[in-house]
Structure 1
């Protein structure tokens, strides 16, 4: 059997969905034909029916009825086996119906038989399954067959001429059914095509919306009135939850709101105009701001929550602060560094005097040490004010950290050897940051770690751990020292400017480190665990969701 040509396929009025509907309708029509053929075959075994019905050729009628049953039974079996009929198969089935039923009419009592009504159903089914010129052909073929049988019976069997009139009336009925059903079917096809097109557009729009929502830096949550999470985008998962969203078996876990956000929700439910204070979802997360609104204004049973990372606001505030600080530091450099330089120089000249007693020498040491400390403060403030905008790039964090360790150890080897233990956990995603600024942060944290480790253990040793966050989409670096650690009452103050527990420190190192991290949309935090020493963590932003 020849395959369908491209031309016939292109001219088909049926799209993929309509072809599916066409095959489904053909199956229903074949069920009808099977039932009819079973009835016709079954009536052959009922003696009163055979006695009261006049047959021109009984044997031919019986063979035709059994043949009709066999054809329909075979088609039903192959359809049940999963056969997908094409247009040519449907056309052949309708043509066979029209011809076989007219053959049964010829073998029975002619056009006056009740079997003629079955032809109307076949023509109607053909026009539903093929609402085009082929449907008109079915009506024309059925009309010609009916007229042919009537004319033949009138000429050869001297049947009544009324049979010809009846055949003509049936022909008009065939064409009327064809035209009416063609119009209805075409309208249905156009409606289905329009509905399919709109459904596709809606699906594409929904997919685009999902992509936009998932790529947004703003976290979006949909909650019920009891705080149960119905929907959360990737940014919300990133900002609110430390744990992985799936368990080890890959099943989605139920999320519960962090306690600060749940408290904010309760406040908002009692007063929709209440101001929700910024919060931290966990000790290592950035400062977040939540805004609530009702998703359904009429029912109010779902709540839409927008979670904003305050890093963007912080960045804007930093730019304003740096502009003011730049003007201030110009005065500092002139008004403080010049007198400070004079003090340091005078102290140096006094040290060169051969008549200095031990008490004066101790005073000079204090002057020199504190002059150096004040100069360090000025240098840090100047560095902060001169800081340029972060020039971020996509970085292979694993390779970058390995190079940093090698370079840092080489610089430390000039003064005192340092041991850096580098640990790598699993596959590390990339990150976007300014390498020079993050290197400055790492140098600050590593220097502090080596100093405190040496003070506590006598060994200059730190541990660097690089891993991914729980969602496997962001990189993080942990810097651990083996010092005495930070007392619990001081943990909330370590990043404040000018706070220090070292009498020789300036108190600006960690503050400057966090400022540089925030400029790169990373977050620097102090992690609490049961291990000795301090553990600082740099959590980088998602490389694909930069502000």
Structure 2
């Protein structure tokens, strides 16, 4: 059995695409309709002279009318939506060559001006199918022309010049075929190269868009009036608390810039060398640093804004500070704990003496309380310096909070006379979060202990509310711990997470700082929510479980 070549299977591999070939064929068929209408109209111009000069006027008239009918029918079919295929185009070109030569035969021969129309048909065939079949069109047209001229010389006694004219036409047929095939192939290759480059550019644009969307650095494109033209997911998350990777460039349009960013933009427009101070877009968002630059240096109507999360830099600085403090504490812990232990032991022995009055016992209580406080400070600093890396797991917030509440209540029942009241509320369809359970539980214990203590001081009841919800984009979960205490004074709200800051004389000032550090280690953010409600509300906002790094 003979093998079939690839060329035979794909005879039109170098042809224009089907849609383009269909449009070209429609144009060519319009041309054929116009030509056939003109030929029919010429029948009524001078029919007497036609009868004297034409060899077979009846056949000529029938051929012209049939040619018009065929072309009109094809035009109506394509107008109805018919999509011509390669075989339809081939049959149409062959039909044109044969019909036109039939008209030449029945009219005045090869000297008739209709021979020029054959050149157009051959040229159209090589444009529509620039392959070997285009050469076949030229060969068929040349054979038909030579056959008609030879028939005229032998039967009608015409001059031999007609054979020369037919040969010249054959040369024109082949020249038109080869030239148009070369031009068409060059155009098709150029178009294919342009399409390939366009696809490459589109792919690179898509890759760049995905890279920009997944960058941890926020990217904003603004006009000179501060209107957002483009924003990536990190910018949405850092400025508005909403991250949408697929449609952030759409959701960001129409948003109002945060007031600190707008003020920084106005200051930069006045003085481009001025550096913007770090700021928080919202009370629950991290500290950010922005930098401005112009996209178009000549026109300057678009501004590129880079937004960097300062929490990482702050975390690294705090870690360096705590590492130094941890080394210092570890070095002197032995020297501090030995005299501290002696002081504590001596106070305990004095407390057993029956000769102490009320004032002495009060002094001993102060000594023991502050000894425990100093020891707690040392333990907390050592814990910070020895903190292990987070071991994150994908957690269902609702189930985890329910289990945490039950475990926490059991410990509180054993430690206090008055049982606490913890109200747990969870929103529907909470997104999952990824974090280290033991570390975030340590944060929750600290927040719940503080909340119960301050609620009892203000209301006499140990009660808090824990609420779990989702951010506005529905992609990240958060947990609020709200107490009913006296709240935090406005001048202290920016300092509550600083190390060794406390408003409680018995506190170490490291609880909330350690809680925020643990949250940052899990790529979560601990913030104090200012919602004009009684008491305090601390919020843990978890990172998107699919975008953690």
- When the two structures are superposed, what TM-score results if normalisation uses the length of structure 1? 0.92
Q: Which position in structure 2 is the counterpart of 1:236?
A: 235
Q: CA deviation at 1:252?
A: 6.5
Q: CA deviation at 1:201?
A: 0.8
The counterpart of 1:476, out of the listed 472, 478, 488, is 478
**Could you give the per-residue CA deviations for residues 35-79 of structure 1, whole angstroms, max 9, x where no partner exists?**
2222223334x2435644633223322222222222222222232
Q: Hey, what does 1:499 align to over in structure 2?
A: 501
Aligned mates of 1:515, 1:251 — CA distance in 2: 32
Give me the whole-angstrom Cα distance separating, in 2, the residues matched to 1:531 and 1:404: 25
Q: 1:342 to 1:233 in 2, by over 3 A?
A: same
- Distance in 2, matches of 1:319 and 1:502, equals 25
Judge conservation of contact 1:18–1:192 (CA < 8 Å) in 2. Answer: no
SS at match of 1:288: strand
Q: What SS does the aligned partner of 1:137 have?
A: helix
**Residue equivalent to 2:206:** 207
Per mean C-alpha deviation after superposition, the further-off stretch among 390-399 and 55-64 is: 390-399
Q: Shift in Å at residue 128 of structure 1? A: 0.8
Q: How far apart are the structure 2 equivalents of 1:463 and 1:70? A: 87
Alignment of 1:391-406 (within 5 A): 391-406=391-406
Structure 1 gap segments, 5+ residues each:
none
Partner of 1:294: 294
| Deviation sequence 1:186-213 (CA, Å, 0-9, x none) | 1111111111111111111111111111
Is residue 332–residue 378 contact of structure 1 (8 Å, CA) maintained in 2? no
2:456 corresponding residue in structure 1: 454
How far does residue 336 in structure 1 lie from its aligned partner after superposition? Answer: 2.3
Q: Is the 8 A contact 2:487 2:535 kept in 1?
A: yes
Q: Deviation digits for residues 470-528 of structure 1, max 9, x if unmatched?
A: 22332221111222222223222221222222232222211111122222222111111
Bigger mean CA deviation after superposition, 129-138 or 332-341: 332-341
Answer whether contact 2:233 2:243 (CA < 8 A) is retained: no
Task: Tell me the equivalent position of 1:129.
Answer: 128
Deviation at 1:532, TM superposition (A): 1.9
Q: How does 1:513-528 map to 2 (within 5 A)?
A: 513-528=515-530
Gaps of 5+ in 2: none
The within-5 A match list for 1:153-192 is 153-192=152-191
- Supply the distance in 2 between the matched residues of 1:20 and 1:459 (Cα, whole angstroms): 79
Q: Secondary structure at the match of 1:112?
A: coil
Alignment map for 1:4-403 (pairs within 5 Å): 8=8, 10-14=10-14, 18-44=17-43, 46-48=44-46, 51-52=49-50, 54-242=53-241, 253-403=253-403
SS of equivalent to 1:429 = coil
Aligned counterparts of 1:307 and 1:411: Cα–Cα separation in 2: 44
Alignment RMSD, CA only?
Answer: 2.5
Q: Deviations over 1:241-284 (max 9, x none)?
A: 1468899xx97641222121122222222222222211111111
Give distance in 1, aligned partners of 2:329 and 2:148: 112
Residues 433-474 of structure 1 deviation map (CA, whole Å, 9 limit, x = unaligned)? 332222211111111112222333333322222222222332
**CA–CA distance in 1 between the matches of 2:49 and 2:37?**
20
Q: Are 1:418 and 2:420 matched, yes or no?
A: yes
Distance 1:80 1:6 in 2: 35
> 1:393–1:11: structure 2 CA closer, same or farther, 3 Å change rule?
farther
Residue correspondences, number:
539
Q: Look up the match of 1:436.
A: 438
Q: Within 2, Cα distance between the matches of 1:479 and 1:83?
A: 69
Q: Is the CA contact (8 Å cut-off) linking 1:347 and 1:367 kept in structure 2?
A: yes
Partner secondary structure for residue 415 of structure 2: coil
Query: What is the CA–CA distance in structure 2 between the aligned matches of 1:8 and 1:408, rounded to whole Å?
Result: 79
Task: Return closer, same or farther for 1:76/1:418 CA change in 2, 3 Å cut-off.
Answer: farther
Determine if contact 2:291/2:305 at 8 Å carries over to the other structure: yes
Deviates more, 1:274-283 or 1:49-58: 49-58
